[in-house]
Amino acid sequence: MKLGAPILFALLGAACDDSQTKDKFPLLWPEGTVLALDERAIGAAEVDEAAGCLAFLEPNDSFDQLRRLALTNVVLPRCAAQAVDPEARKQARSLAEAVQQAVAARSEVKDARSSERKGRMLDLGLELWNAAMALEPGQWTGVVETAGCFHLARLKEKGTATLPGLVELTLEVYDFPYLPLAEARDRIDARLDRAQLHYVDESWRKLVPIAWQHRLQGGSP
């Protein structure tokens, strides 16, 4: 059966409209979502947790600026890393959780080696430093994720400083990478270059630097 031109064009138009709708609203985002990188929802709480840590280092920055720094330095790279190799990430997390159970039970740790690490927030990484900073010497963190790696750490020593972010910690750390360290940065950057940022809450657009808006194909104001 042949379709007349008006009907054919109408069907094509409807298909295009449906495709555009899906591109604009790819998912029913979970409650509290403010942004999304591709299909990865980002809630305000995730950003604000990182922003609160950065406030220890930059107490004079506005909350908007801290959120901006949290997005570009912590949250967006971590979201991109999670999408690079989901199966490797799943395996790394399982291993990290097995070691966490072993240290909690004071049993032998298999298939993993720890190392000592010492430094301030910028040396240890925001997420790991923040998790350990709240502990007393001898206590273990939960499983902590940074961009491309899971970690489990025991606080050995905690120093003092004028700013909390400058406090030096000595840790025993188990690392469980799901992206090889030598290529993690390049693979995360490549993923970001292909990603699309969705402004689920339009008020958050102003917190994304213009360069990042263009990079993530979210459009500029």
74-116 tens-digit pLDDT: 999 999 999 999 999 999 999 999 999 999 999 999 889 999 9
| pLDDT at res. 97 | 97
| pLDDT at res. 13 | 42
Q: Is the pLDDT of residue 2 over 80?
A: no
- At what angle are helices 44-57 and 63-70 packed, to 10 degrees? 110
Please report, for the chain, the start and end positions of each structural domain, with discontinuous segments joined by +: 32-85+181-221, 106-178
| pLDDT at res. 128 | 96
| pLDDT at res. 219 | 40
| pLDDT at res. 5 | 44
The model's pLDDT over 131-172, given as tens digits with 9 standing for 90+, comes to 999 999 999 999 999 999 999 999 999 999 988 889 999 999
| pLDDT at res. 7 | 40
The pTM score is 0.83
Whole-angstrom distance, CA of residue 129 vs CA of residue 168:
9
Average pLDDT (2-21) is: 41
| pLDDT at res. 103 | 95
The model's pLDDT over 35-80, given as tens digits with 9 standing for 90+, comes to 999 999 999 999 999 999 999 989 999 999 999 999 999 999 999 9
Phi-psi category of 154—alpha, beta or left, where left has phi over 0 and alpha has psi -120 to 50? beta
- At what angle are helices 126-133 and 44-57 packed, to 10 degrees? 80
Q: Give the HSE-up count for residue 105: Cα atoms under 13 Å, Cβ half-sphere.
A: 9
Whole-angstrom distance, CA of residue 206 vs CA of residue 136:
39
Whole-angstrom distance, CA of residue 103 vs CA of residue 204:
41
Residues in the chain: 221
| pLDDT at res. 28 | 87
Whole-angstrom distance, CA of residue 44 vs CA of residue 2:
53
- Least Cα distance to 78 among 122, 125, 120, 31 occurs for 125
Look up residue 25 and give its two tokens: 């609203």
Look up residue 138 and give its two tokens: 């001898």
The model's pLDDT over 168-187, given as tens digits with 9 standing for 90+, comes to 999 999 999 999 999 999 99
Consecutive H or E run containing 173: strand 169-177
The model's pLDDT over 196-221, given as tens digits with 9 standing for 90+, comes to 999 999 999 999 999 999 999 844 34
- At what angle are helices 76-84 and 86-104 packed, to 10 degrees? 100
| pLDDT at res. 27 | 63
Average pLDDT (24-42) is: 86
Q: Is the pLDDT of residue 15 over 80?
A: no
> What distances in angstroms separate CA 179 from CA 10, 19, 129, 163, one per listed residue?
47, 33, 21, 33
- Least Cα distance to 99 among 81, 82, 114 occurs for 114
